[in-house]
Amino acid sequence: MGLYREYVLPVLVDATCGSAALRSFRERAVEGLRGEVLEIGFGSGLNVPHYPPEVRVVYAVEPAHRARRMAEERVLASHAQVHHVGLDGARIPLPDASCDSALSTFTLCTIPDVEGALAEVHRVLRPGGTFHFLEHGLSPDAGVARAQRWLEPVQRRVADGCHLTRDAAGLVRDAGFAIRSVDSRYGLGPSPWSWLTLGVAEVV
């Protein structure tokens, strides 16, 4: 699984999560980011071209070396400075209350210790700081949810631990954030994979 995780999976994620169908969702996810930003699950830098001008510095957390290399061209073209600061979202080497905003796109589904990672995001954000998230997850439709539960064991093996049944907004709320806005809907593609949640939460 090591070679697959390091060399194959980043290419697959870049292709599937970098589709044109998701571009408008990414553009909405980054709206309002400003100053110093923490991005967990930075991947191949798919969000980089969409950062608003108010973003000065991005602290990127990404475990896959191949993904970081794939991001280099996007990073070089960006107005924002990007610094890779860690490999594990549950252990972020940044001081308390050091970031203005944080971003996660299609990451909370996969992080093994998702509660620990959200606690770290909460810790490094300043009071009033915002956490922007775009995630796929558990559908409210009973038939789709049954299919997601049935498919999840295979999904986790093929996609390096990715869950189909996590509730992103619920996880963020349980981590102590105040939810500012949530928009959930189906995107393009098969329904077990396409229930998307776009949200902004705040440290209060």
- pLDDT of 1: 47
Q: What is the pLDDT of residues 28-49, one digit of tens each?
A: 999 999 999 999 999 999 999 9
Name beta bridge partners: 200.
132, 181
Which two structure tokens, joined as six digits, stand for 61? 């957390």
Q: 187 pLDDT exceeds 50?
A: yes
Distance CA 127, CA 38 (A): 15
Is CATH 3.40.50.300 what the domain over 2-202 is classified as, yes or no?
Answer: no
CA distances (Å), 50 to each of 29, 30, 106, 166, 190, in order?
9, 7, 16, 26, 26
User: Does the pLDDT of residue 100 top 90, yes or no?
Assistant: yes
State how beta strands 125-136 and 178-186 pair. unpaired
Assigned token pair, 174:
């349980």
Closest CA to 199 of 20, 38, 31: 31
The whole-number average pLDDT for the span 3-13 is 82
pLDDT above 80 (res 5): no
Q: Is pTM beyond 0.75 here?
A: yes
Average pLDDT of the segment spanning 126-130: 98
Helix, strand, coil shares of the chain, percent, nearest 5, are 40, 25, 35
| C-alpha to C-alpha distances, 193 to 66, 109, 137, nearest whole angstrom | 24, 11, 7
State residue 52's pLDDT score: 98
**What is the pLDDT of the chain when averaged over all its residues?**
95
What CA–CA distance (Å, rounded) separates 53 from 38? 16
Confidence tier at 130 by pLDDT (50, 70, 90): very high
Domain-by-domain residue ranges, the chain?
2-202
Single-letter amino acid, residue 201: A
